[in-house]
């Protein structure tokens, strides 16, 4: 570990940025982000990312078992492939158990597919950033709205370059101790990144892909969904499966897209589809909306009374 320590401090007073993701350490989105940050010559770059794809694992962590960290060669960075989840990777990477310093900023991404609306809850990419936030380290989750047939691997570099001003500005504020610590950022880059309309501050919406299940005969049947969650609802629906035979020892089921829920307004998903790079501040908590609070304020006091009356 001593050689890693020496490399971590190369570059003098340059801030240290640690990168994780949920698509795995070999994912083109992560590699593009590393290349852009390294080529800017502004940062020391650390990488602590899953050794395989961990999409849609949300904020799950490894609790009982040990995880492994294997050094990986990535030009200009000190990198480890970890056998855990994105949240595990962030937790390990900022703990000083793996690297000798705590990074100034954690970046999680660039994810293959957008992370807007309710999909933020499913996202391992967002989970990696949220874990840093839990530990008082500024963080950003980065996603690119990949669309098959329109996107190509070079778009990740364009997305990273488009986000570089935000990353640099954050680091500057962090150094001056003026950056807020009560939130983290979720950034989504539009499909046509070369012609994006600029940054737009948005709020998390309620968009979601409606999922169903269908019975299959093998794990390979039906193919593989894109990383994390996208709003592509063009997948064809399959007929309802026939009644299950009770003679089978087990049954196999796969998810399928059944539709979508999209809301209008200045939300993350709508702004992303309008061509903006969306910047959405997030917190750790998910308080209920005010009308729900008002309902239960009147409902809860009567619960005990109703129960007591029915028990008589």
Q: Is the pLDDT of residue 36 over 80?
A: yes
Q: Is the pLDDT of residue 235 over 50?
A: no
Give the neighbor-by-neighbor strand order of the sheet with 44-50: 69-74, 77-82, 44-50, 16-20, 105-112, 139-144, 184-189, 277-282, 199-201
Helices in 22-118 by DSSP H: which ranges? 28-40, 86-93
Q: Which of 104-108, 141-145, 153-157, 300-304 has the lowest mean pLDDT?
A: 300-304
Q: What integer is the mean pLDDT of 109-133?
A: 96
Looking only at the bridges linking them, the beta strands covering 77-82 and 69-74 are: antiparallel
Looking only at the bridges linking them, the beta strands covering 69-74 and 184-189 are: unpaired
| pLDDT at position 12 | 62
The whole-chain average pLDDT of the chain stands at: 87
Helices in the chain by DSSP H: which ranges? 2-8, 28-40, 86-93, 119-122, 124-134, 154-175, 268-273, 290-299, 301-311
b/e string for 170-182 if b means 16 or more Cβ within 10 A? bbeebeeeeeeee
Q: Is the pLDDT of residue 212 over 70?
A: yes
Q: Which CATH architecture has domain 2-202+266-282?
A: 3-Layer(aba) Sandwich (3.40)
| pLDDT at position 285 | 84
Residue linked to tokens 């990740």: 156
Alpha carbon distance 275, 199 (integer Å)? 9
Nearest CA to 163 out of 33, 267, 20 is that of 33
Structure pTM? Answer: 0.84
Nearest CA to 168 out of 42, 39, 46, 34 is that of 42
| pLDDT at position 233 | 47
What does the domain layout of the chain look like in residue ranges? Answer: 2-202+266-282, 208-261
Beta strands in 184-270 (DSSP E): 184-189, 199-201, 208-216, 252-261
Q: What integer is the mean pLDDT of 31-60?
A: 96
Please count the residues of the chain: 312
Q: Is the pLDDT of residue 289 over 90?
A: no
What region, left, alpha or beta, does residue 11 occupy, with left being phi > 0 and alpha being psi -120 to 50 degrees?
left
């Amino acid at each position: 570990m001593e050689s890693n320590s020496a490399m971590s401090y190369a570059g003098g007073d340059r801030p240290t940025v640690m990168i994780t993701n949920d698509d795995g350490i070999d994912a083109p989105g992560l590699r593009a982000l590393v290349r852009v940050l390294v080529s800017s010559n502004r940062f020391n770059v650390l990488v602590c990312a899953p050794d395989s794809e961990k999409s849609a694992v949300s904020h799950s962590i490894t609790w009982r078992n040990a995880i492994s960290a294997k050094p990986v060669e990535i030009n200009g960075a000190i990198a480890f492939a970890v056998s855990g989840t994105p949240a595990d990777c962030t937790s390990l990477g900022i703990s000083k158990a793996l690297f000798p310093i705590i990074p100034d900023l954690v970046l999680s991404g660039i994810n293959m597919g957008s992370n807007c609306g309710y999909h933020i809850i499913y996202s391992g990419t967002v989970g990696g950033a949220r874990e840093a936030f839990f530990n008082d380290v500024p963080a950003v989750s980065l996603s690119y709205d990949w669309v098959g047939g329109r996107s190509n691997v070079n778009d990740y570099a364009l997305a990273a370059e488009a986000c570089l001003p935000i990353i640099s500005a954050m680091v500057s504020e962090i150094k001056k101790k003026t950056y807020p610590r009560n939130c983290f950022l979720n950034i989504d880059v539009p499909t046509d990144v070369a012609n994006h309309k600029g940054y737009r501050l948005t709020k998390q919406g309620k968009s979601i892909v409606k999922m169903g299940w269908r019975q299959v005969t093998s794990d390979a049947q039906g193919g593989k969904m894109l990383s994390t969650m996208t709003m592509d609802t063009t997948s064809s629906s399959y007929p309802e499966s026939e009644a299950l035979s009770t003679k089978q020892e087990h049954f196999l089921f796969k998810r399928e897209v059944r539709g979508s829920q999209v809301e209008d307004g200045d939300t993350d998903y709508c702004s992303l589809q309008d061509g903006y790079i969306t910047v959405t501040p997030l917190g750790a908590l998910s308080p209920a909306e005010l009308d729900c609070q008002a309902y239960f304020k009147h409902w809860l006091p009567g619960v005990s009374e109703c129960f007591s009356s029915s028990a008589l």
